[in-house]
Structure 1
Amino acid sequence: MFLICLFLCSFNYFVRTEVVGNGYHEAIGIPAVHKIMGMEGVNRIVGGGPAATITAFPFQAGIVVTLTTKKTSVCGGALISNTRVLSAAHCWWDGESQASQFTIVLGSLLLFSGGTRIVTKDIVTHPNWNVDDLRHDIAMVKISRIEFNNNIRAIPLPAMSDVRQDFSGLTATASGYGKTKDAQNSFPPSTNLHNVNLEILTNDVCQRSFDIPIHASQMCTRGVRGIGTCDGDSGGPLTAIWKNQRTLIGIISFGVGDGCQAGFPSVYTRVTAFLPWIQGNM
């Protein structure tokens, strides 16, 4: 079974997905490091636009992943408290590569420079995460306490009363530092945080694009051609305005492997399905 992990791509206003077997880091994360480092300063989410200031996304976390092989990979995450970042389980263990530590980057439009940088080895993946199942793709990253400011601030989680909400029809925002288009083999000199707005689908509609089951603990965004998520932000946040405040509703997990610009849906871990687990690890 192919695990197709997402990276937010934003160049020419497009966001795309990448296909990977059970080995996200070797197939996507490690190659993306060199591309992102060479691109820091340029737009990258596909179909979206650059974040003008980090204050628009103060909850955004970049994750520089150090693997046990000493290679470097990349992921994304969302700051949910002074000491916790939520990300995807496959960023820590993808079935082939094991991470040894994360460097969490907060308060920066760039992934490899600036901001507050915190090294941690304290990561808890969901006990039922399995790379062949694709469910329970969620991890809690524990960091030393940071003080909030205009550039660094936690994003609210949904309430327990929202558990039955599927959020379909809502416009959500994905954000990240990743690649920008299918044909992009080289990158401009810098890479900025980017964001894109995407419509949330019902799981029934989303299922038509996948051979594997889309479960209730997952959610999807519509893949209009040229708009979606791409190389660089697996584990990153999907947020929406809910009850008058921006709220974390999804974590980037996987997608169809026909290119970021092909127009297929992207799949996320549904945050409301894991609220008890999240609260138990705060």
Structure 2
Amino acid sequence: MIFQNKYIFLLSCVFVCRSAAVYENGYHMDVGVPKATWLRRQPISRIVGGTKVDAATAVPYQAGIVVRLTTGWTSVCGGSVVSATRVLTAAHCWWDGQSQAALFTIVLGSLTLFSGGTRIETKQVTPHANWNTRDYTHDIAMVRIPAITFSNKIQAIPLPTASIVNNNFVGFTGTISGFGKTSDAQSAVSSSTVLHRATVPVISNAVCQRSFSLNIHGSHLCTSGDGRKGTCDGDSGGPLTVIVNNQRVQIGVVSFGPPSGCEFGEPSVYTRLTSFLNWLQAQM
């Protein structure tokens, strides 16, 4: 989900750089809608280079998001449970500059996106006020949901604190997860789509910039595509997590990926959560 996209910005795609905008027709029409169609038709979709998650308990903070657009089309994104009443995702999942979401169906505790688990419909989505659809800065949004009951399949992921605000995380091994495509060869997203995850190294923004004509800002964070691992279409909005002081913490939200596609070993780009601590606190 997080690594693919044939235009500039991604999911992440689930990830992007040929003009002043990430997608020619916006994320939803270029990525999310085709992915939703593919997920319904294919037996499995996954993080590129990743492994199938055998139980929802392995990634209990993962949220799937089925997006209903105002046009009636169905799109898809990812997200993360950050409290009993909040799910974090990317702003472009709600409004990508061309397509507007009308309703999110939040899917929790499930290995499949279009069936199973706890499913919650909501229109209460707050994108960052400075979300910029041209340079994909401030690509972050908070979703409000009725209070859920935590279980071994549904848990909140801790967010960064001020104690690690100056950590750039370069060299850390991150974990990405989502329901995205397996490869560029797949044209879309299936009712039996299975959650996958992969480990990826965090790289410096300077190294990341070499793969993009779009500016990589300080509020972005990147992971290497070495080993052809990364996010692919449909992973947008999903979490990037690392272990800090023996605790798993979310440090990024899948934002976009390389113009070359999912499987060419290029970086994936995320919204850097340590750049938004005040905003996150205000939204909680």
TM bin, normalised by shorter chain, reads: over 0.9
Give 5+ residue unaligned stretches, structure 2.
1-6, 17-21
CA–CA distance in structure 1, aligned partners of residues 188 and 90 of structure 2: 27
Residue 140 in structure 1 maps to residue 135 in structure 2 = no
Residue 184 in structure 1 maps to residue 190 in structure 2 = no
Q: Deviations over 1:171-209 (max 9, x none)?
A: 001100010012224778731100010000011111121
Q: Deviations over 1:2-31 (max 9, x none)?
A: 3224145xxxxxxxx477225110111111
- Residue number in structure 2 paired with 1:39: 42
Secondary structure of residue in 2 paired with 1:190: coil
CA–CA distance in structure 2, aligned partners of residues 199 and 186 of structure 1: 27
- Residue number in structure 2 paired with 1:25: 28
Secondary structure of residue in 2 paired with 1:100: strand
CA–CA distance in structure 1, aligned partners of residues 179 and 80 of structure 2: 13
Residue 126 in structure 1 maps to residue 102 in structure 2 = no
Letter in 2 for 1:37: R
CA contact (8 A) 1:4 1:21 kept: no
Q: Deviations over 1:99-123 (max 9, x none)?
A: 0110000000000000000000000
- Residue number in structure 1 paired with 2:12: 6
Runs of 4 or more off by more than 2 Å in structure 1?
1-5, 17-22, 184-190
Taking structure 1 as reference, are residues 111 and 188 closer, same or farther at Cα in structure 2, changes over 3 Å only?
A: closer
1:94 shift after superposition: 0.3
Residue 253 in structure 1 maps to residue 255 in structure 2 = yes
1:217 shift after superposition: 0.8
Taking structure 1 as reference, are residues 131 and 213 closer, same or farther at Cα in structure 2, changes over 3 Å only?
A: same
Matches within 5 A, 1:12-91: 17=15, 20-40=23-43, 42=44, 44-91=46-93
Give 5+ residue unaligned stretches, structure 1.
9-16
Secondary structure of residue in 1 paired with 2:83: coil
CA contact (8 A) 1:196 1:228 kept: yes
Q: TM-score, normalised by structure 2?
A: 0.92
CA contact (8 A) 1:43 1:49 kept: no
Residue 104 in structure 1 maps to residue 111 in structure 2 = no
CA–CA distance in structure 1, aligned partners of residues 257 and 188 of structure 2: 23
CA contact (8 A) 2:91 2:131 kept: yes
Q: TM-score, normalised by structure 1?
A: 0.92
2:158 aligned residue (141, 156, 159): 156
Secondary structure of residue in 2 paired with 1:191: coil
CA–CA distance in structure 2, aligned partners of residues 74 and 186 of structure 1: 11
CA–CA distance in structure 2, aligned partners of residues 107 and 76 of structure 1: 13
CA contact (8 A) 2:113 2:192 kept: no
Letter in 1 for 2:41: G
CA contact (8 A) 1:135 1:217 kept: yes
Taking structure 1 as reference, are residues 85 and 208 closer, same or farther at Cα in structure 2, changes over 3 Å only?
A: same
Q: CA RMSD in A?
A: 1.7
- Residue number in structure 2 paired with 1:14: none
Q: Deviations over 1:123-156 (max 9, x none)?
A: 0000000101210000000001001001001000
CA contact (8 A) 2:180 2:233 kept: yes
CA–CA distance in structure 2, aligned partners of residues 111 and 20 of structure 1: 24
Secondary structure of residue in 1 paired with 2:231: coil
